[in-house]
């Protein structure tokens, strides 16, 4: 129990519960009403899916700033597919959007892995490229709710046992990725690559393949988030997803995933997403102005990064102290019988004579 409470995820969960508790005391409808409970679970669902994909990329000591543009492009693609073929099955549209997102993520990963260009630079460029494609394609047009099937739009509002469908989708994605990272060889290799990419390559780990997989997964989940966005809001324009990449990175960092790679969990990233969006909903309820809402989120991000550095330095000092306290022991003496000394040489004249004889 003590080790559980020491985990970063436990601290984030407690902070989330504190925000919900204080806000509910001020305004009981924030949690205790049917709409409040639904919004508490539904609002973070899209950001949770994006944060899970981003966390996998950040664990490898990279970052993907294009996820907001990928979401916007795949959300508009979803609407256009329904507009062109209203009878198209929802699962087919979803798979097309996810595959498109994975392809766009693979473009990012290929440049990072093979050209060895920093991911920050590459994904900043593709952020504008993908957004430009959406702007050129959509122009001033937008997809309205009337252009999409009612069954698809129902996914944005339907509930199962009081839990929104989109929240269930986000929970399934979170559980699957967390299980992969925790139990599979590939998941552990992602952490090893993030800890020290050069050492991982020297150990023979498939660094390029894992990087391609991480970026493809992040892109695929951004594509899924695009479908969820279209179902949730029913209206998609060329500006969909603008600025979400900063929210995603903030959620990942607040959730305890080290921006320098090699540590953190997708569960923490998901909790970070829930905490940020819950704070955004809670502060207006308690009468905090918009400026201070943004300041609180910024302070959380700065505090999370500072905490990561403090914990990393403390861990380094602890490892160094343990190494100094346990110096290598001297070689053990041989365990066999001690060698017998040579026979004494003859010392007297009679002995020399006997030896000569």
- Check if the beta carbon of residue 201 is closer than 8 Å to that of residue 207: yes
Higher-confidence position of 303 and 252: 252
Mean pLDDT, rounded, of the chain: 84
Higher-confidence position of 69 and 2: 69
pLDDT score at 308: 67
pLDDT > 50? residue 5: no
Could you please report the per-residue DSSP string of 184-211?
Answer: SHHHHHHHHHHH-HHHHHHTT--HHHHH
Place of tokens 């026979």: 343
Tell me the C-alpha distance between 19 and 30, whole Å: 11
What percentage of the chain has pLDDT greater than the value 70?
87
Tell me the C-alpha distance between 28 and 26, whole Å: 6
Q: Quick one: 195 exposed, middle or buried, by C-beta within 10 A (0-12, 13-18, 19+)?
A: middle
Kindly indicate the confidence band of residue 218, based on its pLDDT and cuts at 50, 70 and 90.
Answer: very high
Selection from 20, 208, 27 nearest residue 109 by Cα: 208
pLDDT > 90? residue 62: yes
- Check if the beta carbon of residue 22 is closer than 8 Å to that of residue 16: no
Selection from 53, 60, 64, 52 nearest residue 190 by Cα: 60
Kindly indicate the confidence band of residue 67, based on its pLDDT and cuts at 50, 70 and 90.
Answer: very high
Kindly indicate the confidence band of residue 357, based on its pLDDT and cuts at 50, 70 and 90.
Answer: very low
DSSP state of 236: B
- Check if the beta carbon of residue 12 is closer than 8 Å to that of residue 275: yes
Residue-wise pLDDT for 230-268, tens only, equals 999 988 988 888 889 888 998 998 888 888 888 889 999
For 2-316, CATH gives 1.10.3470
Give the start-to-end residue ranges of the domains of the chain: 2-316
What percentage of the chain has pLDDT greater than the value 90?
42
Lowest mean pLDDT among 189-198, 291-300, 327-336: 327-336
The answer to pTM > 0.85 is: no
Most confident range, picked from 3-7, 103-107, 272-276, 293-297: 103-107
């Amino acid at each position: 129990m003590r080790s559980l409470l020491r985990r970063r995820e436990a601290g984030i969960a407690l902070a989330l519960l504190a925000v919900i508790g204080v806000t509910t005391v001020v305004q009981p409808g924030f949690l205790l009403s049917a709409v409040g409970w639904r919004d508490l679970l539904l609002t973070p669902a899209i950001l949770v899916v994006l944060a899970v994909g981003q966390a996998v990329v950040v664990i490898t000591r990279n970052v993907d700033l294009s996820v907001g543009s990928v979401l916007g492009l795949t959300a508009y693609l979803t609407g256009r597919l329904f507009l062109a073929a209203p009878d198209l099955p929802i699962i087919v549209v979803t798979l097309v959007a996810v595959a498109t997102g994975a392809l766009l993520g693979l473009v990012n990963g290929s440049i990072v892995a093979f050209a060895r260009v920093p991911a920050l630079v590459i994904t900043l460029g593709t952020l504008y490229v993908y957004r430009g494609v959406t702007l050129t394609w959509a122009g001033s047009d937008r997809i309205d709710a009337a252009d999409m099937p009612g069954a698809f739009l129902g996914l944005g509002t339907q509930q199962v046992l009081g839990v929104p469908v989109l929240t269930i989708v986000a929970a399934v994605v979170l559980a699957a990725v967390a299980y992969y990272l925790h139990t599979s060889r590939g998941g552990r290799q992602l952490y090893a690559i993030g800890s020290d990419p050069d050492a991982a390559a020297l150990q023979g780990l498939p660094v390029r393949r894992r990087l391609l997989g991480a970026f493809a997964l992040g892109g695929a989940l951004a594509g899924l988030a695009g479908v969820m966005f279209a179902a949730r809001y029913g209206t998609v324009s060329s500006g969909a997803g603008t600025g979400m990449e900063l929210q995603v990175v903030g959620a990942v960092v607040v959730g305890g995933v080290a921006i320098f790679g090699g540590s953190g969990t997708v569960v923490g990233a998901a909790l970070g997403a829930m905490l940020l969006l819950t704070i955004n909903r809670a502060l207006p309820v308690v009468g905090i102005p918009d400026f201070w809402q943004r300041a609180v989120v910024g302070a959380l991000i700065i505090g999370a990064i500072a905490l990561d550095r403090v914990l990393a330095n403390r861990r380094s000092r602890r490892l160094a102290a343990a190494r100094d306290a346990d110096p290598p022991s001297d070689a053990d003496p041989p365990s066999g019988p001690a060698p017998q000394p040579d026979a004494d040489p003859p010392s007297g004249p009679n002995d020399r004579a006997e030896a000569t004889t």
